[in-house]
Structure 1
Amino acid sequence: MKFRFKRMHYCAALCFILLNLTSYAQKIRFGANSLIDYQTEKGIFNVYVDGELVLKDAFSAGRVNKVFISSKDFKKRTTQKSQFKNSVGKGLCYRFTAKNEAGLTLEQSVYAYTDQNFFTIDVKVLGADLSSNEMFPLKGELVTKQDFSDFTSLFVPFDNDTFISYQANLLKIGKENTSSEVTAIYNRINRNGFVIGTLDHDQWKTGVISKLQAPTLLDLTVQSGFTNEEITRDKIAHGFLKDSSITSSKVLFGYFNDWRLGMETYAKTVRKNEKPIVADWKGPSPVGWNSWGVMQEKISLDKAKKVVDFFADELKQFRIGDVCYIDLDSYWDNMLKGDDYSLLKQFADYCKSKNLKPGIYWAPFTDWGFKDGPDRKAKGGQYTYGEMWTKVGNGFYDFDGARALDPTHPGTQMRIKDMISNFKKCGFEMIKIDFLGHAAAESTQFYDSKITTGMQAYKVGMEYLLKCLDNKMLVYAAISPSLASGKYVQVRRIACDAFKSIKDTEYTLNSVTNGWWQTYLYNYIDADHVVLADESEAANVARTLSAIVTGTLISGDDFSSDGQWKARATKLFQNQDLLKIIEDGKAFRPVEGNKGKSASNQFLKDKGKVQYLALFNYENKNASVKIDFQQLGIKDQSVLAVENLMTRKQIDIVHNSEILLQPAEAIMLKITLK
């Protein structure tokens, strides 16, 4: 018995030692062949993919009550492990918890997906009377076996205002690269790369910041609570969250063989994580017309009816699913007489009589007449505009020539309810909403004191707008936050205003080159109004194909007046081969993305046995485009036929064929595989 007793104590002691030893390192597996090595005594972790180190000395932190607190500050922590299954996938959640002498608890949650090639992480701080406007769910050092000399850092804008561009920047030692909400850092030769991005956008604006410190070492910081006037448009620092617990945005980290697949995976994951509030659109891909392209302030009922007649009589085949929208943009109030909406109802009824769907435009969170003073009474209630303005310091938030309205103010909401009610009474079936970024501005004090950040205010405003719309219209966002709007609208314009020139085409396709993945975040992304005007036929074709590549087609010429644009529209917009491509509403993929502020000149859409390849020349001189089947993912011997859909002629191409494009020319190839 004595021997057995000693043996039992020896076994217990050995188990205790083993448990404590293993607690110093947690081996967390995720995806097909990836591992997180969490060193619990240091509060840091390394990430390996296929046995190779890709993230080194990573940790989480926050600035709470003006004190910086980091997972590295603690020597002891508890670890909880539990299974999870959510809308994204399934796996194991590891929760690392530590507490300091001041009574603050820091909690890291790592979600290791067994069925996804990424993990997610967030950090939470718990305590009494907490206040923070800076949380760092992930900080560390990206590493590569060779060096970062061929790597590109993708800049994703917060919104699509001020003609901002996406940008693919080659990494340079000492240069800091900052992106809004998400970035891809990828090898421009083999496309291998990292994708790091936020999955929720209700509370924080987040910046993803990288800086190359050495040829093989890239600092990475993900900062929830990021503002920068040139990126997020904010005039002040990020608002403070105040509670007994404050949690950062949840961040996805993945390493992918093809960064394009990584960005698509990211967008799909955001959509699963942030379930849309707006109804999932069951109708056909939107095509139609918008008045801002050319008509702009000259809009009138007579001119709008003439446009309707042109679409009804001369563009009968410009439909998808027998649907086409005729949308009145800004200056539709030329048809308003006080509170009399009868002319607008006449327009909507006239559209419907011609089997067309009427659309309208509005900017719900802006005051364009603020220079006329604060005492003007807003429609729908008893409040003045001065009471509704978004407060910033001792002033207000002015941008784009308009003053922001506080989305949490009852006067703003009464105005929205009144306007949307009138639109619905008129019978509009589509609404283009604009300047939504004004609703996301950080404020010194919102009317609703429980709302303390711009993204919280954006949520309040957009949810109220959707409540008023009641799923009665197709909802299209123009200028708007890129990531945060996915829950609220069915269509989002991919860039800022684009009109008619080949440079407009290049600008639009810069956003598609680097932001095409938003096709999985929204029902549709849109290339803005396609204007033909008096440009060359080549430029007209390029502008049209830029829309096809994006996934929808909204035209913008003044079809109430005569000009070459009518004949060109009749030919281009009724090309059934092109319309068939956008029936699914999905954007093309860029063949290459490392084009700086320019755009890829090749875009591919994979439809199984049919591959659509769009080629562009953005220059006013001849250019040749090489067709590299390996880059396209096409086997040379599998090509059965190639047709130029613009000329409807068969052409012969093989691997590394060069196609000559005329100045400003674009073509669409249909590649049929065996």
Structure 2
Amino acid sequence: MPYGKNGRIEYHLQSGEFDLIADSGTIISGAYAVVKNRDAILNSKEYPTRKHSQTAIKDGFGVGQKHSIVLTRKGSPTLQQIFYVYPDREFFFTEVVVSGNSLKSNYMAPIVAEKADIGVRGDNRSLFVPFDNDAFVSYDSRPVQVGQSLTSSEVAAVYENYTRKGLIIGSVEHLEWKTGITTAGVGQQLTELKAWGGLSDEKITRDKIPHGSLSGKSIKSPRLFVGFFDDWRDGLEAYGKANRITEKPYVFNWDKPTPFGWNSWGAIKSKISFDKAVKVADFFADSLTGFRNDNTAYIDLDSFWDNFFSGGLNGDFSKLKEFADYCQKKGLQPGVYWAPFTDWGWKSRKVRKAEGGDYLFSDLWTKANGTYHDFDGGRALDPTHPGTKQRLTFAIKKLKECGFKMIKIDFLGHAAIESDGFYDRSVTTGMQAFRQGMEHLIDQLDGQMLIYAAISPNLAMGRYAHTRRIACDAWKTIKDTKYTLNGLTYGWWQTYVYNYIDADHIVFGEESEGANRARLTSGVITGTFITGDDYSVHGPWSVRARQLLQNRSILDLAKNGVAFKPVEGNSGKSAGELFVREIKGEWFLAVLNYDDHPKEYIIDLTRIGLDGSSEYLTSELFQHSTFTTTGTLRTSLPAGDAAIFKLVRK
């Protein structure tokens, strides 16, 4: 089964195993499929009869072939291993289907292998990708070595950092399954490779019970993307794009400019008030007139906007509407915040009625392992419960009537938790519940607002948000910058899953000018440009904002909105120091020093993707210095600082 320029899958009908051949070598050997049906384990190697057929296909990936291997065994359900291959794609898809009577499964693995070899020994890495961006979780590029097994969520990369050759395996379907990929081995060789639907792990997915089961006469695994690439970064970008093609966004496409704006959680937090919010709007309208994209900036109220009035969701929203109207009068766009699937008052012993209906909050709580799911201080609400939906409809209607043009939605992983049983009995997995809740939310928003997702699943959120935060909360320090850019180093490819990804609110505070530049750089090279200082009062941050947030070269770069990609992938749980992006024939290089001492950099232009023999006119966007570079770019940075270089071939 050939695919791409020189890749092929060799399926052995006698054994029920297949090999992946690419780059003149065998990358995966003896792979097979495993499916759990109730208490029985079905293994493609143990079926005596296998028949192959193929049909022509044409879909979002182009013209290709669908290869099906049907496996039968007397007294057992039928298995079907399916491969989708395309001559113009350097990857393929595979899935497994089980058919029969009274089937029930919470584990389906299209790929299980005891041998894989990427063909290069050196700085070999296996990448951990988190399920979400909660609890300050980090990506991790771990060395492949004896005694270490690594399970990644939804996608994994196994690569050698210097040559960049790598294997990418990941799910492109997230409506029913949570997918895990486990790798183990030493150096270039893996002794365990397993990719399956049914991942449930409290440390990864936050679940405290096993993955829910799917039932019926036919059950399908998640569809897996598989490819071996000369550059693992190209592979992850292809994977990101494949997600958006396979599961098209449910939300409307954002065709307006890259969002610029401000969010109140950066500095004001729970002390937000109507007066403070109005003063922030005044600051942007009067003192930051240059901080716009297409004459637009968003002024977004985060949590605690109910400080504006009493009564919570049942209160009088007139002050919120007054604020929204004031923003628009000032030429700004108003934004708001909500966490639709959490109950923050669950610790109260009072009997509380959920807003928008007659149900009690206690009726809405998601039940897991005989109790409730409490995380981040919030208790999960069942997304399928009519009371949750009524409350959501009630709240969104009031916010829409205020005239908000942006909404930040948060703690969305609470909607994806596996449950003892959902209100809607046809829903049996956390991802099915997540889909139902998120589709209801998008339906209620009805295209009125830019949708920004904060804490949420990395991949599954792609159908429902325009922009998504790449990591957990970050504020002003160089440590915050380093944490955020760990997410960009290994998750930049999500720029192709969403319209934009985001580095959280950019806060200057009273940090050094270098720390301010670094934090600003993290936003510019990630995607959207959202600030967060308390601009209702004067301070060093407002002085710095007038300077940095109106730097025309920086703003022009930020308007691009596409994430920079890392130069290296060997920083473990830390962040890369070099990030690069080509924009209309011009190259931009971000350099960051997270250390507490000055640092010298000698950067090989060929390593960042340029022609090492060409001469480049090089300018630094913060210092406005200009010089010529050939072969190597040499620079030094003070402790906790950053620089952004623009390189144009002469």
- Letter matched to residue 191 of structure 2: L
> How many Å apart are 1:90 and its aligned residue?
2.2
* 1:457 CA displacement: 0.2
1:280-295 alignment, distance < 5 Å: 280-295=253-268
Q: What SS is found at the alignment partner of 1:460?
A: helix
The answer as to 2:595 corresponding to 1:622 is: no
Determine if the alignment matches structure 1 residue 68 to structure 2 residue 41. Answer: yes
- 1:176 alignment counterpart: 149
The code of the aligned residue for 1:201 comes to H
Deviates more, 1:604-613 or 1:562-571: 604-613
Query: What displacement does 1:98 show?
Result: 1.5
Instruction: Measure, in 2, the Cα distance between the counterparts of 1:572 and 1:47.
Output: 50
Q: Which amino acid aligns with 1:574?
A: Q
Does the alignment pair 1:550 with 2:523? no
Deviations, residues 434-464 of structure 1 (Å, cap 9, x unaligned): 0000000000000000000000000000000
DSSP 3-state at the match of 1:632: coil
Structure-2-length-normalised TM-score: 0.98
- Note if contact 2:492-2:563 (Cα within 8 Å) is conserved in structure 1: yes
Matched with 2:385 is 409
**Is residue 2:317 matched to residue 1:341?**
yes
Distance across 1 between alignment mates of 2:260 and 2:118: 48
What are the within-5 Å matches in structure 2 for residues 239-278 of structure 1? 239-278=212-251
Correspondence 1:227-376 to 2 at 5 A:
227-338=200-311, 339-373=315-349, 375-376=351-352
* Cα distance in structure 2, aligned partners of 1:596 and 1:142: 24
**2:442 counterpart (466, 471, 480):** 466
Amino-acid identity (%): 46
> What is residue 175 of structure 2 aligned with on the other side?
202
Partners of 1:366 and 1:422 lie apart in 2 by: 18
**Contact preservation (8 Å) 1:605, 1:611:** yes
Change (3 A) 1:147 1:631: closer
* Counterpart-to-counterpart distance in 2, 1:625 and 1:517: 25
2:150 match: secondary structure: strand
Which residue is equivalent to 1:52? 25
- Equivalent-residue separation in structure 1 for 2:484 and 2:448 (angstroms): 29
Q: Say whether the 8 Å CA contact 1:37–1:46 is kept in structure 2.
A: yes
Deviation at 1:664, TM superposition (A): 0.7
CA distance in 1, matches of 2:356, 2:121: 57
Structure 1 residues 387, 145: closer, same or farther in 2, change over 3 A? closer
Q: Could you tell me how far apart the structure 2 residues matched to 1:257 and 1:568 are?
A: 43
Once residues 616 and 227 of structure 2 are traced to their aligned partners in structure 1, the CA distance between those partners, rounded to angstroms, is 37
- Number of residue pairs aligned between Structure 1 and Structure 2: 647
Tell me what 2:585 maps to: 609
Deviation at 1:215, TM superposition (A): 6.1
C-alpha separation between the residues in 2 aligned to 1:519 and 1:591?
A: 16
> What is the Cα deviation at residue 413 of structure 1?
0.1
Q: CA deviation at 1:613?
A: 0.6
Alpha-carbon distance in 2 for matches of 1:298, 1:540: 23
Preserved contact between residue 325 and residue 358 of structure 1 (Cα < 8 Å):
yes
Moved more, 625-634 or 252-261: 625-634
Q: CA deviation at 1:140?
A: 1.5
Counterpart-to-counterpart distance in 2, 1:540 and 1:584: 21
Aligned to 1:177, the other structure's residue is in SS state strand
Q: CA shift at 1:216, angstroms?
A: 3.1
Deviations 1:449-493 (A, max 9, x none): 000000000000000000000010000000000000000000100
Counterpart for residue 506 of structure 1: 482
Aligned-pair CA distance for 1:633: 1.5
Q: Which residue of 469, 488, 492 maps to 1:516?
A: 492
Q: What residue identity is the alignment partner of 2:148?
A: K
* Distance in 2 (alpha carbons) for counterparts of 1:168 and 1:190: 16
State the distance in 1 between where 2:392 and 2:504 align: 25
Per mean C-alpha deviation after superposition, the further-off stretch among 647-656 and 323-332 is 647-656
Within the candidate set 557, 562, 568, 2:544 is matched to 568
Corresponding letter in the other structure for 2:198 = G
Structure 1 match to 2:126: 153
Q: What CA distance in whole angstroms lies between the structure 2 residues aligned with 1:549 and 1:282?
A: 20
Residues 94 and 110, structure 1, Cα contact 8 Å, conserved in 2: yes
Cα-to-partner distance string for 1:618-657 (whole Å, 9 max, x where unaligned): 0110111221111012113433310111111113433234
Give 1:100 shift.
1.8
Looking at structure 2, the residues matched to 622 and 198 of structure 1 have their Cα atoms a distance apart, in angstroms, of: 42
> 2:2: which partner in 1?
29
Q: CA deviation at 1:49?
A: 0.8
Separation (CA, whole Å) in 2 of partners of 1:583 and 1:143:
42
Aligned mates of 1:423, 1:214 — CA distance in 2: 54
Q: Does 1:224 align with 2:200?
A: no
Compared CA separation, residues 59 and 300, structure 1 to 2 (3 A): same
Aligned match for 1:541, one of 517, 531, 540: 517
Q: 1:540 to 1:212 in 2, by over 3 A?
A: same
SS state of the match for residue 320, structure 2? helix
Give the superposition deviation at 1:665: 1.2
Question: C-alpha distance in 2, partners of 1:348/1:209?
Answer: 48
TM-score (norm 1): 0.95
- Which whole-Å CA distance do the structure 2 matches of 1:502 and 1:651 have between them? 28
Amino acid at match of 2:502: D
Counterpart residue number, 1:24: none
Contact between 1:433 and 1:475, CA under 8 Å: does it hold in 2?
A: yes
Offset at residue 217 of structure 1 (A): 3.6
- Give the superposition deviation at 1:393: 2.3
Query: Structure 1: any 5+ residue segments left out of the alignment?
Result: 1-27
- Give the equivalent residue in structure 2 for 1:382: 358
Aligned partner letter, 1:247: K
Name the CA distance, whole Å, in 2 between partners of 1:500 and 1:142: 45
- In the alignment, does 2:502 pair up with 1:526? yes
> Are positions 1:399 and 2:384 aligned together?
no
**One of 93, 118, 132 as aligned partner of 2:91:** 118
1:455 to 424, 428, 431: 431
CA gap of 1:443–1:163, structure 2 versus 1, over 3 A, is same
CA distance in 2 between counterparts of 1:186 and 1:416 reads 44
1:143 match: 116
In structure 2, the CA distance between the partners of 1:311 and 1:214, relative to structure 1 (3 Å rule), is closer
Per mean C-alpha deviation after superposition, the further-off stretch among 628-637 and 214-223 is: 214-223
Q: Tell which deviates more after alignment, 441-450 or 131-140.
A: 131-140
CA distance, structure 1, for counterparts of residue 633 and residue 410 of structure 2: 44
Aligned partners of 2:631 and 2:614: how far apart in 1?
11
Which of 60, 65, 72 pairs up with 1:92?
Answer: 65
CA contact (8 A) 1:66 1:132 kept: no
CA–CA distance in structure 1, aligned partners of residues 272 and 36 of structure 2: 52
State the 1:374 CA deviation: 6.8
Deviation at 1:143, TM superposition (A): 3.1
Report what 1:429 is aligned to: 405
Equivalent residue in structure 2 for 1:669, among 630, 639, 645: 645
Q: Offset of 1:498 from its aligned partner?
A: 0.3
The Cα of 1:303 is off from its aligned counterpart by 0.6
Q: Are the equivalent residues in 2 in contact too, given 1:41–1:74 (CA < 8 A)? A: no
- How far apart are 1:137 and its partner, in Å? 1.1
Q: Contact 1:148–1:171 (CA<8 Å) still a contact in 2?
A: no
Distance 1:270 1:146, change over 3 A: closer
Contact 2:118 2:165 in 1 (8 A): no
Aligned-CA RMSD value: 1.2
- CA distance in structure 1 between the aligned counterparts of 2:498 and 2:118, rounded to whole angstroms: 36
C-alpha separation in 2, matches of 1:640 and 1:153: 35
In the alignment, the residues of structure 2 paired with residue 162 and residue 657 of structure 1 have an alpha-carbon distance, to the nearest angstrom, of 38
8 Å Cα contact 2:38/2:103 also seen in 1: yes
Give the match for residue 15 of structure 1: none
Question: Which of these two proteins has the greater Rg computed from alpha carbons?
Answer: 1
